[in-house]
Structure 1
Amino acid sequence: VQAASCQTGARLRVVGEQPAGADRGLTIGAGEAIRIFTGAPLPAGADAVVMQEDVKRTGDSIEVECAVEPGEFIRRRGADLAEGQKILGRGEPVAAQTMALLAAQGLVEIEVGGVARVAIVSTGDELVPAGTTPRAGQIFESNALMLRALALGAGVEVPLVEHCPDDLERMTELFRRGMESDALIVSGGVSVGDHDFVKPALRALGAEIDLWRVAIKPGKPFLFGRAGGCAIFGLPGNPVSAFVTFLKFVRPALRKMSGAADENLGLRQVSACLAKEVENDGDRPHYLRGKLQDGVFNISGLQESHALFGLSRANALLRVGSGEKFPAGALVSVELWD
C-alpha cells in the first residue's frame, strides 16, 4: 500500500497479488493495494505493508482498520548487511549461524584453517583400563578419555589414544608413532621420579624440551618441547592438574594450529559474584574450579589435584593470585569451558 492512502477506515481497491519468489513487476497508485506474502518483493509505488489481521476484505477491496506509517513491515536492502561490508575475518570461528550468513550471500565454499592432528598417551604402571580388575596399588586410567574429549572440543582430530606402562623402550616407540601428528599430549611421568621415563624417551627421539615446570596450581609439573613439526605437551598425572593445564596451555596452542585468531584462543571470560570468600596463601596462582550459575560462582568440592567429583560439577575457573583474597560478594572474572 501507500501509507498516505491508509487512514483508519480508508477503503483500497486490490489490484493484484505478489507471492514470494519472482518479481511480477506490479505497480500500485493512490487508493490501491496489492496482496503480498512474506518474503515477496515490494511492488513499485508501495511504501508500507499492512498486516492482513489489520484489514477487512470485501470482494476486491479492503478496509484499513489502523493507522499506517511509511516503511512498516518492509525489509530494506542493505539494512542488515551492506554491499562491501566485512562479514567474516581471518581466524574467526565458523559457527552454525555463520554458515547461514555465508550461504545467504550465495557463497559455496570458503578457505578455512587446517584441522590439527593430536596423539594422546597416558603413562604409568599404576593405571589400568576400565573393565579390568586393578591390583593393590592400582587405579583406573581416566586421563586419556578426558584429554581426548577436551582435544575434540578444541576442534582437532585425535588419531591415536594409548596407555603406556613405565617402560622406556615401549614408551619411546609409542612416542615415535605419536610424533607423526601435529601435537603429542602425554599425561604423567613428567616429574623427577626414578620411574618417570617421559623425558628420557623424548630425548632419545631427538626432542628439544623447552620447559618442564610452570608456576600455577594445580599443574606445576608441565613439559613443553618440539620434535620436528610436532609440538609436545607433557601434563601432570593427577587428573585435575591435567585438566587445568590442558585448558590454560594446550587448548590455546591447538586452536592456533587450527587457524584461530589470537583473540579467539582463550576461554570465554565473564563476570560473576563470588558466593564465598576465597584466599590463596601459596606462592603460585591457584585456578579454583567452580560452578557459575545465575551470575554466582560457587567453589565445587575438594580443590585438590585428584578430586574428579568436584571437577565434574564445575564449569568455570577462577584465578586467585599468590597472596590474593576475595571476599564473599566480590565481583570476579571467571573463565568458562562449557
Structure 2
Amino acid sequence: MLPLEEAQSRLLALAPRLRTENVDVASALGRYLLEPLKARRTQPAAHVSAMDGYAVTGPDLAGPWTVIGESAAGHPFAGSIEPGQAVRISTGALMPAGADAVILQEDIVRAGERIELTGTPPSPPGKHIRRCGSDFALDHELLPAGARIGPAQLALAIAAGHKHLPVRRVPHVVIIDSGDELAEDPELCPAHQVPASNGAMIAALLAANPCTVSRIGPVRDDLEALARAFHDARDADVVVTTGGASVGDHDLIRPAIEQAGGTLDFWKVAIKPGKPLLVATRGAQVILGLPGNPVSSHVTAFLFLLPLLRASLGAGQPLPCPIPLPLASAMQPGGDRREFLRGRLSDGGVEVLTQQDSGALAAMAAAQVLIDRPAGSPARHAGEKVDVHFLGNGGIA
C-alpha cells in the first residue's frame, strides 16, 4: 500500500494537460491563472477622497472656508483651490488640484457657501485621501500563476485592466456507478439492494468546480458491460468509478480497465477509509477507481479526485490544506493506517463523531470536517491540536 502523499503525488503527475484558452474574465470564475496577473493600470489612477466631506488646502485646517464647487465620483472639479477655499467632495471623487486634506462632513457646519469646523481636523492632514497607486500600480504582479479566480480575484483582474485571462479548458469527467446491488430508483429498492447514491454524490462534489460531468450506470457486475461503459467514456479526460475496485469475485473494475486498453498505475493506499483506491491511465485519460462504500467514496474523492481536477486546471496548490484545531474532547489512539475521521465543530474546537463506519451516510452528512489521525497516533486529550480538513457541506444544523 502506498502512503497518502506518495499516492497523491503519483496521481497529480498524471493530470491531463488540457489546452490553454483565453476567456473573458467573468467566464474564468473558479479556474486558475496560467500566468501571473500584472496590473495594466494604476489603482487609484489619481488621488481620491476616502470619505464624504470638503477638500481643502493649506497648513491651517481651522477654517473657515468658502465653498467654490463640487467634486463628485465620475465628475471631478475642473479648477484648483487655494487656502481659505473648499470643494464639496464625495467618496471616490478625484481630489481637486491643490487640495491636501478632506474635512469630514460631520465635522463641518455650513451656512450658504461658508463652512466652519465644528469637529476635529484630520491628523495627519491626508488621513482621508486614497493616494494614487495605493491599491496597486502599473505592471505590479497582483496574483501568481496557479492562483484560483474567485469573486475577489475576478474583480481585481477587471480593475487591473484585464478583459480576458489565460486558463485551461474545463475537463470532462465521466462517473461510472457499478454493482449488482445498486438500485437506480430509490423508491423501488428491494432489501437485497441499496439506492445508487455514489454517482450523484460525486457529481455534487464536482459541481463547484469548472468541469462538465456525465454519468453512466448503474452498470451490473459484468465484465463486458463494464468494458462497454469504459468504451462509452473514451473521450473523457477523467473517468471515475465507484465500487468494484477491491478483491472480491465480483470486483471487475481492474480487468474491465485492462480490456478497455487501460494500464494500472497503482492500487491501494494506506488510509482508512479508502484503502482500495485504484489509479490507471488510458492514453492521456486518467481513471480513478473509488471504493464503493459511500463514506470511502466521499473521502477519496476529496483527497484525490478534487486535487486531480485542480491540477489539470493549473492550480498552484491542488491538494487540500489542513488547519490545526483543538480537540473538544479526547480522541482514541490510531490504528495501523492513517485515518480520516468525520468530525463536527463545537465551542471547544472539533469533536470526533461516534459513528465512523464507512457505510454510514448519516454521519457523513452530519460531518463538517475530516480529522487527520496519523497511523499509530497516541490517544489525544481535549485541547490538543489536530489537523482538520473542512468539507464545505455544512453538516446538520
Return the TM-score normalized by structure 1: 0.94
Contact 2:58 2:82 in 1 (8 A): no
For each residue in 1:225-273, what CA deviation from the matched residue of structure 2 results, as whole angstroms up to 9, or x when unmatched?
Answer: 0001110011111000111111112211111011111x2x122422211
Contact 1:125 1:166 in 2 (8 A): yes
| 2:241 corresponds to 1:186 | yes
Q: Which residue of 2 aligns with 1:253?
A: 308
| 2:330 corresponds to 1:315 | no
Q: Which residue of 1 aligns with 2:8?
A: none
For each residue in 1:131-168, what CA deviation from the matched residue of structure 2 results, as whole angstroms up to 9, or x when unmatched?
Answer: 44222311111100111111223432203343211121
Q: 5 Å matches for 1:275-290?
A: 275-290=328-343
| 2:142 corresponds to 1:87 | yes
Secondary structure, in 3 states, of the residue corresponding to 1:206?
A: coil
For each residue in 1:165-211, what CA deviation from the matched residue of structure 2 results, as whole angstroms up to 9, or x when unmatched?
Answer: 11211111111112310000000001111111111111111100011
Q: 5 Å matches for 1:80-119?
A: 80-119=135-174
Match of 1:210 among 265, 275, 281: 265
| 2:382 corresponds to 1:332 | no
Secondary structure, in 3 states, of the residue corresponding to 1:72?
A: coil
| 2:76 corresponds to 1:23 | yes
Q: Which residue of 2 aligns with 1:39?
A: 92
Contact 2:334 2:373 in 1 (8 A): no
The one-letter code of the counterpart of 2:349 is V
Secondary structure, in 3 states, of the residue corresponding to 2:130?
A: coil
Contact 1:267 1:337 in 2 (8 A): no
Secondary structure, in 3 states, of the residue corresponding to 1:146?
A: helix
- The more displaced of 51-60 and 225-234 is 51-60
Secondary structure, in 3 states, of the residue corresponding to 1:5?
A: coil
- Mapped to 2, the partners of 1:127 and 1:280 lie a distance apart of 35
- The more displaced of 277-286 and 68-77 is 277-286
Q: Which residue of 1 aligns with 2:129?
A: 74
The one-letter code of the counterpart of 2:262 is A
- Mapped to 1, the partners of 2:348 and 2:144 lie a distance apart of 31
Contact 2:328 2:348 in 1 (8 A): no
| 2:286 corresponds to 1:231 | yes
| 2:259 corresponds to 1:196 | no
- The more displaced of 90-99 and 279-288 is 279-288
Contact 2:81 2:97 in 1 (8 A): yes
- Mapped to 2, the partners of 1:177 and 1:184 lie a distance apart of 11
Contact 1:166 1:195 in 2 (8 A): yes
Q: Which residues of structure 1 form unaligned runs of 5+? A: none
- Mapped to 2, the partners of 1:45 and 1:319 lie a distance apart of 60
What is the alpha-carbon root mean square deviation over aligned residues?
Answer: 1.6
Contact 1:240 1:308 in 2 (8 A): yes
Alpha carbons of 1:159 and 1:134: their partners in 2 closer, same or farther (altered >3 Å)?
closer
Q: Which residue of 1 aligns with 2:176?
A: 121
The one-letter code of the counterpart of 1:162 is G
The one-letter code of the counterpart of 1:142 is S
For each residue in 1:256-296, what CA deviation from the matched residue of structure 2 results, as whole angstroms up to 9, or x when unmatched?
Answer: 011111x2x12242221102222344211111111134561
- Mapped to 1, the partners of 2:117 and 2:289 lie a distance apart of 73
- Mapped to 2, the partners of 1:91 and 1:23 lie a distance apart of 39
Shift of 1:32: 1.0
For each residue in 1:57-79, what CA deviation from the matched residue of structure 2 results, as whole angstroms up to 9, or x when unmatched?
Answer: 11121111123231031110111
Q: Which residue of 2 aligns with 1:267?
A: 320
Match of 1:174 among 211, 229, 235: 229
- Mapped to 1, the partners of 2:86 and 2:93 lie a distance apart of 15
Secondary structure, in 3 states, of the residue corresponding to 2:96?
A: coil
Contact 2:177 2:218 in 1 (8 A): yes
- Mapped to 1, the partners of 2:286 and 2:315 lie a distance apart of 17
Contact 2:335 2:377 in 1 (8 A): no
| 2:106 corresponds to 1:53 | yes
Structure 1 consecutive aligned stretches of length 4 or more whose deviation exceeds 3 Å = none
Secondary structure, in 3 states, of the residue corresponding to 2:59?
A: helix
Alpha carbons of 1:136 and 1:311: their partners in 2 closer, same or farther (altered >3 Å)?
closer
Contact 2:109 2:115 in 1 (8 A): yes
Return the TM-score normalized by structure 2: 0.81
Contact 1:50 1:72 in 2 (8 A): no
Shift of 1:113: 2.3
State the structure with bigger RCO (CA 8 A, min sep 6), 1 or 2.
Answer: 2
Alignment identity in percent?
Answer: 38
- Mapped to 2, the partners of 1:301 and 1:155 lie a distance apart of 35
- The more displaced of 29-38 and 155-164 is 155-164
For each residue in 1:296-315, what CA deviation from the matched residue of structure 2 results, as whole angstroms up to 9, or x when unmatched?
Answer: 11112411110111111112
